[in-house]
Chain A
Amino acid sequence: MSTDHMSTPTKIRVATTWLDGCSGCHMSFLDMDERLIALAERIEIVYSPLVDTKELPEQVDVGILEGSISSEDDLEKAKTFRKRCKLLVSLGDCAVNGNVPSMRNHFKLADVMDRAYRENVTLQPQIPTREVPALLGTVKPIHGVVPVDIFVPGCPPRADAIWHVLSELIEGRIPDPSQVTRFGA
């Protein structure tokens, strides 16, 4: 991807989104602090919880997914990202290995719903059905549903790790995240 961009002033188009995770990976992204300014000169964030755009553009260079695949909405978003992004990055343990969201896989979905919305609720206990996506029976990492190009483990990956990965991508190299981060981080 990036060799084309090295020769042109065009910025690398980056999209991010947040599936079943805690947003900690996006917080870690923001923890790059003043490096964000340097980054803004090389990349353009075209879609993300960090910007206003509501629609994922048709063509994106790098897609970054935080969180695991737990609902129909997560699945849909992951598929759309895969379709429109040249390079897909799994950011953080939830995206890479399921992490904490996948701990519900040991229970039946109906039991999980009961526990959350009936057993522990005192006022109008009910299973939500409107305006929330249906949960899937099994939580999966991103690469359990679509092919992923780069895996950045960590809970969350440190800002330095995210900086390393993005810097390598900007320079047109494929990063090796194991140099800078690990499961659990």
Chain B
Amino acid sequence: MPLPATQPNVRVVTLKIDDLDLSAREDETLIEVCRENKIPIPSLCHLDGLSVWGGCRLCVVELEGQNRLLAACSTRVAEGMRVHTNTERLQRYRRTLIELLFAERNHICSVCVSNGHCELQWLAQKCGVDHVRVPYRQQPYPVDSSHEMFRLDHNRCVLCTRCVRVCDEIEGAHTWDVMGRGSDCRVITDLARPWGESDTCTSCGKCVQVCPTGALVKQGTSVGEMVKDQHFLPILARRRHAR
């Protein structure tokens, strides 16, 4: 779903989120309204300024009158909606999703350069994940250190595709893509060539900054030193859409 350009005359709808009466522009998504109104919604793939992906499912919410859960990032507001963002069922699902992410690859926070600045680590704590109930898969994934400035560690990748989208939509280089299915799924540069040999990468580092974990980091960072700065994204995205 492409980012909607802001239209001058959009209608306003009223809806209820967690018993709060709210109004929103009809072209907004639920996650945008929640964020504007300081209602916490966990998410890994959604990022203000990038197109909607709806892949991580952490932002699922309940809509009254409907049994199916909806991703708040890919659901537009509608008149009279009654939404619940933090029910016991949602908490249970979110917890399980985060546990599965930890079990699938090798997120060892204590020796990660993003320790203390990681969205997955932070969400785990917020959602009460103090241990992982499923067995760890214990499968090693490769690390690509061929780029002179950046490093890609597939062990810490959650496949949110923020890197793919920021490279395509904001930088305009489209170096990143996704390859493979299931547990073999991974992000690739060019046609799965080493990042350092990429003809298209401009070395702008936007992918590194938007990566929620320690999968994309600056070379030369030590444990806990990889602090990410995403301020550029909403600024660039808005200026571009204002044109």
Shortest beta-carbon distance, A40 to chain B, in Å? 27
* Residue B63 is within 8 A (CB to CB) of chain A in the complex: no
Shortest beta-carbon distance, B90 to chain A, in Å? 17
Over the window 142-182 of chain A, the binary record of Cβ atoms lying under 8 Å from chain B Cβ atoms (1 yes, 0 no) is 01100010011101000000000000000000001110011
**Nearest residue, chain A, Cβ from B139:** A106
CB contacts (< 8 Å) of A102 on chain B: these are 108, 136, 138
Shortest beta-carbon distance, A96 to chain B, in Å? 5
Identify whether the interface residues of A are mostly helix, strand, loop, or mixed: mixed
B121–A178 contact, CB under 8 A?
no
* Residue A67 is within 8 A (CB to CB) of chain B in the complex: no
Partner of B125, one of A99, A152, A178: A178
Q: How large is the interface on B (under 10, 10 to 19, 20 to 34, 35 or more residues)?
A: 20 to 34
Shortest beta-carbon distance, B98 to chain A, in Å? 10
B109–A105 contact, CB under 8 A?
no
B124–A182 contact, CB under 8 A?
yes
Bound-complex Cα distance A180 to B161 (A): 31
B112–A184 contact, CB under 8 A?
yes
* Residue B67 is within 8 A (CB to CB) of chain A in the complex: no
Bound-complex Cα distance A90 to B133 (A): 13
Partner of B138, one of A96, A99, A106, A184: A106
Identify whether the interface residues of B are mostly helix, strand, loop, or mixed: loop
Shortest beta-carbon distance, A146 to chain B, in Å? 13
Q: What number of residue pairs across chains A and B have CB atoms under 8 A from each other?
A: 71
* Residue B229 is within 8 A (CB to CB) of chain A in the complex: no
Known interface pairs A143-B131, A178-B130, A184-B115. Does A99 touch B121 (Cβ–Cβ under 8 Å)?
A: no
Known interface pairs A105-B138, A155-B109, A184-B115. Does A97 touch B131 (Cβ–Cβ under 8 Å)?
A: yes
B residues apposed to A, CB below 8 Å = 102, 106-112, 115-116, 118, 121-122, 124-126, 128-133, 135-136, 138-140
Beyond A183-B109, A184-B110, 18 additional contacts (C-beta under 8 Å) are A97-B108, A97-B131, A97-B132, A98-B136, A99-B110, A102-B108, A102-B138, A103-B108, A105-B136, A141-B131, A141-B132, A143-B131, A152-B130, A153-B131, A155-B109, A178-B130, A182-B121, A182-B125
Cβ-closest 9 pairs across A and B: A184-B109, A155-B110, A182-B125, A106-B140, A151-B130, A151-B131, A183-B109, A105-B138, A184-B115
